Amino acid sequence: MTNSMKRTNAWSFSQDIASDVIVNAGGVSFSLHKFPLVSKCGYIRKLVSDPKDVNVLVVDIPDVPGGSEGFELAAKFCYGINFELSTENIAMVRCVAEYLEMTEDYAIGNLVSRSELYLNEVGFKTLTSAVSILQSSADLLPMADKVKLIGRCIDTIAFIVTKESPFSPSGGTTGALITSTSSSSQPKAVVDWWAEDLIVLRIDIFQRVLLAMISRGFKQCALGPILMLYAQKCLRGLEIFGKIKKKIEPKEEHEKRIVLETIVSLLPRERNAMSVSFLSMLLRAAIYLETTMACRLDLEKRMGKQLAQAVLDDILIPCYHFDGDTLFDVDTVQRVMMNYLEYELEGPRDDEYVSSPQSDMEKVGKLMESYLAEIASDRNLLVVKFTSLAEHIPEQAKLSEDGMYRAIDIYLKAHPTLNDIERKKVCSLMDCQKLSREACAHAAKNDRLPVQTVVQVLYYEQQRLRDNLDGGLIAVEPTTTNNNQPLNDELSRLKKENQDLKFEILKMKMRLKEVERSSGDKSAVSSPASTGYSADKPPLPRKSFINSVTKKLGKITPFFRADGTLPSSTRGRKKPAKDRRHSIS
């Protein structure tokens, strides 16, 4: 016997009259008396109203709200047995009383009126009790909606929250849900006192509560913290930071997918209402759970608007379906960056987040260069994907090409099987004129770079040194020994750099000779456009090609004499370009 049956038999058999009706409710049989039931339950009165010459009637109530527990409370009320009403059982009592038609038409002070009295005087007075009743009402549908129990709970919650919150027209000054901005312009959420109560609700009920709050004037931009709290609770357990998708139960996956899509639909439309890291977490989960494309595109657009606030970890989104493809979802990150560029093209806007568009652009440029360097070591990353992402980084976002050079160098090292055309295509992504001196020094010794790129780097570095020298000679007017000291130091430094460049070119020539010696009589074929020869002339061998480039570079004016002193013709003034002689050999 179940506990319900034992309790019911205890107080029903205590009566002096034998039971004459058996009620099957919620899978449990109750041996009861007809008179107490029909005196207060209109539903049972209608079932037993047809007189039959039988000693014991059997009544089946399979779909009674609350099951056997709910019917037991109603039966106790019919027998006049006291039981305590609470926020945990009032929803069940109200629904079962409505189902059994326990109204004033059958008895004064019946169960419907008693439960309504408790709701009005206790249940709808505080937020905690209203949330508790609402949570239990979610399992009593559709009867809970029929008695408008869910609707009244939602209205009560929305009224209490908007009354106490400053994010509404009639908001108070305490208990605020605050979203502040730190020095790094990342929003920080302070979760209000009512948020912990609401996150226990089922997602559909939770959505109805938030919509009711908004309809009462609650600002949608202030919903961010509670949405973050609800998402963290419901999406816990997903391995969204791993590189392999782990299998979960289909039912659990479906529930989490519904939760995520609902949360995304409730996100504030205002920029910077949510942190980039939270949006990144939602996007990872959306890809992991395979939500609708509209959900994912919405998150990508939101991230694009705030890409300047992101860090590298925010865009390192794993490719969960790893089957020989890339380790990271490069296509998603590229769409996020395109959304950022489209947003910037819209022009100036009045946002909470105040920052210079140029500084934002530079941050995004550095971020994408760091991302390229991170994914470049992936051996499965195709050249077309690497170059496509790099080409979308705007020029105004790059103060120098050091970050791009680092990414290119990592990519070439991880992909040693690239042919010459592919290596030239990858190296064409950087502007050698914007490389720093340290990057130029590294590139001059880099065996992975094509020869043309190395020559280009050396040429621009030599040109920069010449411009710096000419500018220094014009700007400095030697008057005293002390004033000449900075000039001497600068000349010594430039002399050393010039000698280093000459040494690097000499090393490159020697390396080319070794390559030619090891490959026999084979020579590299240059195109007519690069060598200056027509199609009917034989191509230059690789040695001749390098010599021709060296001769062109040899036209650069020597900075110093053989003894290391500055030529007198250039000391203190800038010589006309037509009188300059060029040599770096």
List the chain pLDDT tens, one digit each, 585 residues. 455 555 555 554 445 566 678 888 888 888 888 888 888 888 888 887 765 545 557 888 888 888 888 888 988 898 888 888 999 999 999 999 999 999 888 888 899 999 999 999 998 989 999 999 999 998 888 889 999 999 999 999 999 888 876 555 554 433 333 333 333 344 334 456 678 888 888 999 999 999 999 998 888 888 888 899 999 888 877 766 655 566 778 888 899 999 999 999 999 888 888 899 999 999 999 998 889 999 999 999 999 999 999 999 999 988 876 555 678 889 999 999 999 998 887 765 555 444 555 688 889 989 999 999 999 998 889 999 999 999 988 888 788 888 898 999 999 999 999 898 998 999 988 888 888 888 888 888 888 888 888 888 888 877 777 776 665 544 444 444 445 566 566 667 766 776 677 667 767 767 777 766 766 644 444 444 333 333 344 444 544 544 554 454 444 444 434 344 444 444 444 444 444 443 333
- Segment holding 24, helix H or strand E: strand 21-25
How many residues does the structure list for the chain?
585
Those residues with Cβ within 8 angstroms of residue 300's Cβ, 6 or more apart along the chain or in another chain: 283, 332, 335, 336, 339
Q: Which of 400, 409, 402 is nearest to 427 (CA)?
A: 409
Give long-range contacts, CB 8 A cutoff, 24+ apart: 47-56. 48/21, 55/20, 56/19, 56/20, 56/21, 56/22
**What tens digit of pLDDT does each residue of 324-375 get?**
567 888 999 999 999 999 888 776 555 544 455 568 888 998 999 999 999 9
Q: What Å distances lie between residue 470 and 46, 462, 571, CA to CA?
A: 110, 12, 10
Rg (the chain; Cα; Å): 40
Superfamily of domain 3-102: Potassium Channel Kv1.1; Chain A (3.30.710.10)
Q: What Å distances lie between residue 359 and 9, 161, 309, 563, 571, CA to CA?
A: 79, 40, 11, 47, 41
Report d(CA 150, CA 139) in Å as an integer: 11
Domain locations along the chain: 3-102, 123-167+191-218, 225-347
User: Are 245 and 326 in contact, with CB atoms under 8 Å apart?
Assistant: no
Q: Which residue has the tokens 């010594």?
A: 492
Q: Which residue has the tokens 């050396």?
A: 458
Q: Supply the pLDDT for residue 210.
A: 92
Report d(CA 10, CA 16) in Å as an integer: 12
Report d(CA 411, CA 413) in Å as an integer: 5
Number of neighbouring beta carbons within 10 Å of residue 284? 23
User: Are 411 and 426 in contact, with CB atoms under 8 Å apart?
Assistant: yes
Those residues with Cβ within 8 angstroms of residue 52's Cβ, 6 or more apart along the chain or in another chain: none
For residue 28, list its beta bridge partners. Answer: 25
Backbone φ and ψ of 174, nearest 5°: -120, 165
Q: b/e string for 153-175 if b means 16 or more Cβ within 10 A?
A: bbbbbbbbbbebbbbbeebeeee
Q: Supply the pLDDT for residue 388.
A: 92
Backbone φ and ψ of 178, nearest 5°: -110, 135
Those residues with Cβ within 8 angstroms of residue 362's Cβ, 6 or more apart along the chain or in another chain: 397, 398, 399
Report d(CA 87, CA 129) in Å as an integer: 6
DSSP E strand boundaries for 294-410: none
DSSP E strand boundaries for 105-198: 178-181, 187-190
Q: Which of 418, 450, 415 is nearest to 432 (CA)?
A: 450
Q: Supply the pLDDT for residue 82.
A: 85
67 dihedral zone (left: phi>0; alpha: psi -120 to 50; beta): left
Q: Supply the pLDDT for residue 548.
A: 55
**What tens digit of pLDDT does each residue of 117-139 get?**
999 999 898 999 999 999 999 88
Q: Would you call 58 helix, strand, or coil by DSSP?
A: strand
Tokens of 461: 């570095």
What is the end-to-end Cα distance of the chain in Å, rounded? 105
With both helix axes pointing from N to C terminus, report the angle between 451-475 and 420-427 in degrees, rounded to the nearest 10: 30
- Segment holding 19, helix H or strand E: none
